[in-house]
A and B are shown apart, each in its own frame.
Chain A
Amino acid sequence: MGSDWFEFTVNFIKMILIFLMMVQIVPLLVWVERRGSAFIQNRLGPNRVGPLGLMQLLADAVKFLTKEEFVPARGHSMLFYLAPIAAMIPATLALAAIPLSVPIHVEAFEWLGQNWGPYVFKFQGYDFGIGIVFVLGVSSLAAYALLLAGYASNNKYALFGALRASAQTISYELAMGLSIVGVILLFGTFSFSEMVTAQAHALSFSFFGQPVEISWLPNWGIFYQPLGALILFAAMFAEANRLPFDLPEAEGELVAGYHTEYSGFKFNMFFIGEYGHMLVASALMVIFYFGGYTLYPWLTPATVSSWFADLSPTKASLFTALVLHVVLLLKIVVFLWIFIWARWTLPRFRYDQLMDLGWRKMLPWALFNTVVTAIAILVMRHQWGQ
């Protein structure tokens, strides 16, 4: 995590900031969701508390904190308190492994009579070089939180909701994992930052051994993996338990699913987990298929850092990272909006249709995508007749 205390502290604060960013985005998204749904349904939505109803977020937070603490008499109180915390952990750990911008290079400097640096601070919590595998592994832990909540509530509806949630999560994880194989085939790496670097130039590929370049298009994954992108995005909806895949909390059948017995801040923590998953899903979509924190031809690490050429190297590196971070955030916001938009547009599936879609349609299509990608890469890149 660092060779000295300065580096260690900065890295620790960085991780906490990423976590707090995730927590802070929840009230904002709730506001967007309520206002957005209101406009989609031709209503007004919350507009009384503060300008545009924005202070509604604060009012909600106060209400969450002052609600009566309730633990069902027959529930397992220890597990009941543990489940909401467990719901926040997977999304946080996954988000911290995703690069949010280019690394910041800090020159050696003198401070408190000591020499420090030079340092390279990555714009992410930690980097193992096996980003995808770590994110997949950690985010599938989310099923445990839901099962824990359902079991600890000791309530029929909660248990059924939790069972549905876990069965659905693991079923769609297959299609998700398989559609990512196409991405790995394409870029030949597990590292997110290397994928983004590969997308930061003009669309270029080898066509039967002949290099082809289309200079007005960026080298984004979506041009090579349209089917994979569609499957991954649909599977992400199911992973995050969002409509049209929100069977675990189908209120017509299960009251509120696994969080039937939860109220106040404990309920809010499940929300943080769910929106955290949406955030991770959007970030993955952007990094795999839409160029990550770059936007060729205008905003690549090279062009942005040339804007700050007359500043000191440390400052130039910092500003470049911040500009590219904003690019990533704007792209993520688009996907978050699609998540919300779909919720108020599509009806809910029936449970058998849901499992059918996951196992018998999306899994074979993801497999098809993998095989076609492998054949295409072989045909295009192989040195035929040599």
Chain B
Amino acid sequence: MSQLLPVLLLAAFVTVFGAALMGLANLLSAKAKKNTVKGETYECGIPADTSGSTKVPIKFYLTAILFILFDIEIIFMYPWALTYGDFISSGYGIYAFSAMAVFIAVFVFGLFWEVKSKALEWE
């Protein structure tokens, strides 16, 4: 926890800095009368009839799910990459490589299957 203290302090400082600047901008800025038309959602001049667009194409969800799967698989390669040199110098290099080769083969199969099933096609 004490290791994370500087990170939290810096994040807090940036937040205060940003809030202070926005406060300053609020004080200095030009004041305009309240104007209902001006406050409207930007829509090329046509009055907006919906409360914003909350419909999100399903494609984005699919991309996000695939991202999580692949990202976790990539994270598993990090500790392997870190210790790979040690494995080689202690004579177990071929073992370390073939263990990862199996994992990467599954990864490639997954990626190939995604491409094949057109999950990554955008029109």
The interface of chain A, by Cβ under 8 A from chain B, is: 1, 11-12, 15-16, 19, 64-75, 81, 84-85, 88-89, 92-93, 96, 125-126, 128, 133, 153-157, 159-160, 163, 166-167, 170-171, 173-174, 177-178, 181, 184-185, 188-190, 255, 260-261, 264-266, 269, 351-352, 355-356, 359-360, 363-364, 367, 370-371, 374-375, 377-378, 381-383, 386
Contacts A74-B51, A89-B15; A174 near B94 (Cβ below 8 A): no
Closest chain B CB from A283 CB (angstroms)? 16
Contacts A174-B71, A351-B122, A352-B123; A68 near B40 (Cβ below 8 A): no
Smallest CB gap from B25: residue in A: A265
Query: Among A66, A159, A170, A378, which residue has its beta carbon within 8 angstroms of that of B88?
Result: A378
Given the complex of chains A and B, what is the CA–CA distance between A72 and B40 in angstroms? Answer: 6
Closest chain A CB from B98 CB (angstroms)? 10
Would you call B25 and A188 a contact (CB within 8 A)?
Answer: no
Would you call B86 and A188 a contact (CB within 8 A)?
Answer: yes
Given the complex of chains A and B, what is the CA–CA distance between A315 and B17 in angstroms? Answer: 33
Given the complex of chains A and B, what is the CA–CA distance between A128 and B6 in angstroms? Answer: 11
Given the complex of chains A and B, what is the CA–CA distance between A75 and B63 in angstroms? Answer: 27
Contacts A163-B56, A181-B77, A181-B78; A92 near B14 (Cβ below 8 A): yes
Smallest CB gap from A88: residue in B: B14
Closest chain B CB from A344 CB (angstroms)? 27
Closest chain B CB from A14 CB (angstroms)? 10
The interface of chain B, by Cβ under 8 A from chain A, is: 2-3, 5-7, 9-11, 13-15, 17-19, 21-22, 24-26, 28-32, 36, 38-43, 48, 51-54, 56-57, 59-60, 63-64, 67, 70-71, 74-75, 77-78, 81-86, 88-89, 91, 93-94, 97, 100-101, 104, 107-108, 111, 114-115, 120-123
A159: which B residues are within 8 A, CB to CB?
52-54, 56
Query: Among A66, A171, A367, which residue has its beta carbon within 8 angstroms of that of B63?
Result: A171
Would you call B122 and A371 a contact (CB within 8 A)?
Answer: no
Would you call B111 and A363 a contact (CB within 8 A)?
Answer: yes
Would you call A154 and B52 a contact (CB within 8 A)?
Answer: yes
Contacts A374-B84, A378-B88; A177 near B39 (Cβ below 8 A): no
Contacts A155-B42, A174-B74; A12 near B122 (Cβ below 8 A): no
B48: which A residues are within 8 A, CB to CB?
74
A72-B39, A153-B52 given; 18 more Cβ-contact pairs under 8 Å? A68-B31, A69-B29, A85-B22, A88-B14, A92-B11, A159-B53, A170-B63, A171-B63, A171-B67, A174-B71, A178-B74, A181-B74, A184-B78, A188-B86, A351-B122, A355-B122, A377-B84, A382-B94
Question: Chain B contact residues: over half helix, strand or loop, or mixed?
Answer: helix
B74: which A residues are within 8 A, CB to CB?
174, 177-178, 181
Would you call B104 and A12 a contact (CB within 8 A)?
Answer: no
Question: Chain A contact residues: over half helix, strand or loop, or mixed?
Answer: helix
A360: which B residues are within 8 A, CB to CB?
115, 120
Would you call A377 and B85 a contact (CB within 8 A)?
Answer: yes
Would you call B3 and A128 a contact (CB within 8 A)?
Answer: yes
6 A-B pairs closest in CB distance: A73-B39, A154-B52, A85-B18, A352-B122, A188-B85, A184-B81
Query: Among A19, A73, A178, A363, which residue has its beta carbon within 8 angstroms of that of B10?
Result: A19
Closest chain A CB from B80 CB (angstroms)? 8
Given the complex of chains A and B, what is the CA–CA distance between A163 and B88 in angstroms? Answer: 44
Would you call A184 and B29 a contact (CB within 8 A)?
Answer: no
Query: Among B9, B28, B40, B52, which residue has its beta carbon within 8 angstroms of that of A156?
Result: B52
Given the complex of chains A and B, what is the CA–CA distance between A133 and B59 in angstroms? Answer: 28
Listed residue (A85, A88, A173) with the most chain B CB atoms within 10 angstroms of its CB: A85
